[in-house]
Amino acid sequence: MKYFIQTLFFALLSFNIYAQSIDGGSESEENNGSIANAEIAIIPEPVTLVKNTGHFVLPTNIVIEAAKNNQLNQTVAFLKERLSIPTGHYVSTISVPSATATIKLLLNEKTDAVIGNEGYQLSVTQKHIIIKANKPAGLFYGVQSLLQLLPKEIESKEEVKGIKWTMPCVEVTDYPRLGWRGLMFDVARHYFTKDEVKQYIDAMVRYKYNILHLHLADDEGWRIEIKGLPKLTEVGAWRADRTGTFGDFIPPKPDEPRSYGGFYTQEDIKELVAYAAERFVNIMPEIDVPGHSLAAIAAYPELSCTPDAVNYKVRSGEKIMDWSRGAPPLGLIDNTLCPANEKVYVFLDTVFTQIAKLFPFEYIHVGGDEVARNFWEKNDQIKELMKREGLKTIPQVQAYFTKRVEQIVTSKGKKFMAWDEVLEGGVSQNAAVMSWRDMKYGVEASNAGHEVVMSPTQYAYIDYMQADAITEPRVYASLRLSKSYEFDPVPANANAKFIKGAQANLWTEQVYNIRQAEYMTWPRGFAIAESVWSPKEKKNWPNFFARTEKHFERLDIAETKYAPSVYDPIFTVKRSADRNLSVTLSTEVEGLDMYYSFDNSFPDHFYPKYSSPLVPPIDAKVLKVITYRGKKPVGRMMNMPIEELEKRPGKR
Ligand code: ACM
């Protein structure tokens, strides 16, 4: 019965797509999220979109009308480039009202209270295109939606001939659900060049993200030039060059070259900040202290309480923490800045003075997570500090450090933000909290009146595997697209007033290059974008996934990598009473068929189709599975060793 209803649903869905894709339908209709529309696939889903009859055809001479305004000029240049390159059409601009303009970008004279600072109204008629907004940011977002209404070839980096450059007539009113729509990019574990960071920004702005959180310092690298502290980048930015599964590497030999790494000069940072700002993205810097600080300590060992720090080197992926008893971890070496050493606060003052000047964004993130405090417990300097300051516990020592750092950050005119562990020892009321270990920390913090950004592991950790570990680069946890899509950054028990927004975090221990960074970010980045921008009531997984597939085609043309993992089957393994394995296969996405083999050959759609749990034949060594939609393979060939399945019953 369920299957029949699903089939009916998909039949109706395809009828609707057909009806709309031939002529746009004869009547206006609101795209209320209940249908997937082949022609209109905007991500994140707009607040309201009414589709009208007919199409607008891009003329060969495109005229963009926009008033002269510093903040608007970049949007105009952006649109001009995005239109002229793939279409080969001539695009000119005019700064006075013109009856013949093709596309008008208009700033409202009277503020429209509904759309706020980042919203826009987009009107596409057969005659012209008008985008209206209160602020330049809104026009930029309107432009992103406009581009998504054009054929997918608009994403091309070169001219594409033979395309009918048309778009459906629509009326869109759109604005974000939340103001903080971020992605965190860890450029410390692996280094990404300035141009790669720009490439990452280019991809995120398509989906209306407005914050790039750069994790600039960790055990594996210090990535920003600080004047007067040259060793931070001479020593701290470099490590041994290793590949494989980061974390298990053989410790580098003392004389092993430290040739992997890099850093951003202050000029690079200014360029990145300006590049981001032109695209309405703020960059938030993070210097993670007091833990995760080995790169700084390798450069300046006097920042540590541990005398042996003179021998420390920047981590190259060898084991330095013991997580076997859970969090906080046990440090095998001391990767913390010493809270009892005044030199540390002088050092941080220098660092944050320069960072505050380089990054105009109002927040500085100071980390505070996963501090291995076992070296502090035995240290005489710390014991003296505790006596002097009346600190009773080691968590209170961290809280003392956090408060001192907060004073430094606020003295530079910036707001202080840190990971949710800082709540443990007590933190000032003004501290903003980034909730990562669980939503509950963010909920508690919001109810205690702290500003909160939600980035919980359960939904927003995009360094986690996207499908079965058998195909994905091995990470210790998984997060599927459908789970990311469930993310609601403002749970009912939180104080919504204090939830600024949310972000996805890309840690890069296992991310060696920008292509893999993209693979990890997309499509989960679509899901998070939709969680922070679109109305909660419009959430609809089949509709979202239909649009996601359209964006796979766009990203192919844009040459941005994404993960096809959502098509991979899910293996659920049980052991029956007779000790046989029983393997259930399922998919995240409806409407797919799975074909399998146990005979080592590659299944296709002429092989047995999965319909009920499988019992591996007695001598079988591997279960191979591939997903199809109709006669087209969509998934990757999965090679699941029976030996691996044998280990799984009872495991989560
Ligand atoms: C974190 O993931 N340690 C913030």
List beta partners, residue 609. 595
**Catalytic pick among 45, 186, 218, 518:** 218
- Please give the C-alpha separations between residue 333 and each of 86, 321, 328, 499, in angstroms, as whole numbers: 54, 8, 14, 37
Is residue 628 over pLDDT 90?
Answer: yes
Is residue 188 over pLDDT 50?
Answer: yes
Instruction: Name the least confident of 73-87, 204-218, 377-391, 568-582.
Output: 568-582
d(CA 211, CA 183): 6
Q: Is 605 a catalytic residue?
A: no
Mutation to probe ligand 1, out of 220, 369, 421 (largest number of atoms < 8 A from CB): 369
CA of 412 to the centre of ligand 1 (A): 25
CA of 509 to the centre of ligand 1 (A): 12
pLDDT, position 652? 57
- The 10s digit of each residue's pLDDT in 427-467 is 999 999 999 999 999 999 999 999 999 999 999 999 999 99
Write the CATH number of the domain with boundaries 180-534: 3.20.20.80
Q: Is 380 a catalytic residue?
A: no
* Contact by Cβ (8 Å): 44, 547: no
- The 10s digit of each residue's pLDDT in 110-166 is 999 999 999 999 999 999 999 999 999 999 999 999 999 999 999 999 999 999 999
Mutation to probe ligand 1, out of 419, 420, 455 (largest number of atoms < 8 A from CB): 419
CA of 431 to the centre of ligand 1 (A): 17
Query: Which residues, 6+ apart, have CB-to-CB distance to 559 below 8 Å?
Result: 157
Structure token pair of residue 176 = 């974000």
pLDDT bin (cut points 50, 70, 90) of residue 16 is very low
Q: Is 195 a catalytic residue?
A: no
CA atoms within 13 A on the CB side of 272: 29
pLDDT, position 38? 66
- Fold for 7-174, please state it: Chitobiase; domain 2 (3.30.379)
- The 10s digit of each residue's pLDDT in 357-378 is 999 999 999 999 999 999 999 9
Of 339 and 37, the one with more pLDDT: 339
Average of per-residue pLDDT values in the chain: 93
Which atom of ligand 1 is closest in space to residue 367's alpha carbon? Answer: 4
pLDDT, position 651? 72
Percent of the chain residues topping a pLDDT of 90: 91
| In the chain, domain spans | 7-174, 180-534, 568-646
- Please give the C-alpha separations between residue 426 and each of 293, 395, 399, in angstroms, as whole numbers: 22, 9, 6
Mutation to probe ligand 1, out of 287, 507, 508 (largest number of atoms < 8 A from CB): 507
d(CA 367, CA 361): 17
Class of the domain covering 568-646: mainly beta
Q: What are phi and psi of 457, to 5 degrees?
A: -55, -35
Over residues 70-78, mean pLDDT: 93
Which atom of ligand 1 is closest in space to residue 457's alpha carbon? Answer: 2
Which residues have C-beta atoms less than 6 Å from ligand 1? 369-370, 419, 436
d(CA 12, CA 35): 9
CA of 457 to the centre of ligand 1 (A): 9
Closest-CA residue, ligand 1 atom 2, reads: 436
**Catalytic pick among 286, 370, 463, 518:** 370
Of 33 and 509, the one with more pLDDT: 509
pLDDT, position 12? 38
Mutation to probe ligand 1, out of 371, 436, 463 (largest number of atoms < 8 A from CB): 436
Is residue 62 over pLDDT 50?
Answer: yes
Over residues 7-32, mean pLDDT: 37
Is residue 4 over pLDDT 70?
Answer: no
Long-range contacts formed by 192-199: CB under 8 A, 24+ apart: 192/508, 192/514, 192/517, 193/262, 194/264, 194/268, 194/271, 194/272, 196/514, 196/517, 197/272, 198/272, 198/275, 199/514
* Contact by Cβ (8 Å): 69, 135: no
Is residue 11 over pLDDT 50?
Answer: no
- The 10s digit of each residue's pLDDT in 210-251 is 999 999 999 999 999 999 999 999 999 999 999 999 998 999
Neighbours of 510 (CB within 10 A): 22
Helix (H, G, I), strand (E, B) or coil at 407: helix
* Contact by Cβ (8 Å): 456, 435: yes
Share in percent of the chain as helix, strand, coil (round to 5): 35, 20, 45
CA of 515 to the centre of ligand 1 (A): 23
pLDDT bin (cut points 50, 70, 90) of residue 580 is confident
Is residue 10 over pLDDT 80?
Answer: no
CA of 200 to the centre of ligand 1 (A): 21
pLDDT, position 33? 40
d(CA 267, CA 642): 54
Is residue 8 over pLDDT 50?
Answer: no
| Residue whose C-alpha is closest to residue 459's, from 396, 532, 393 | 532
- Please give the C-alpha separations between residue 45 and each of 32, 82, 181, 533, in angstroms, as whole numbers: 10, 21, 14, 8
204 residue type, one letter: M
pLDDT, position 406? 97
DSSP string, 67-126: ---HHHHHHHHHHHHHHHHHH--EEEEESS--TT-SEEEEE-SS--TTTTTT-EEEEE-S
**Catalytic pick among 213, 292, 365, 551:** 292
Structure token pair of residue 116 = 């706020």
CA of 195 to the centre of ligand 1 (A): 26
Beta strand 48-57 with 166-174 is antiparallel
Which atom of ligand 1 is closest in space to residue 461's alpha carbon? Answer: 2
The dihedral sign for the CA sequence 476, 477, 481, 487: negative
- The 10s digit of each residue's pLDDT in 441-452 is 999 999 999 999
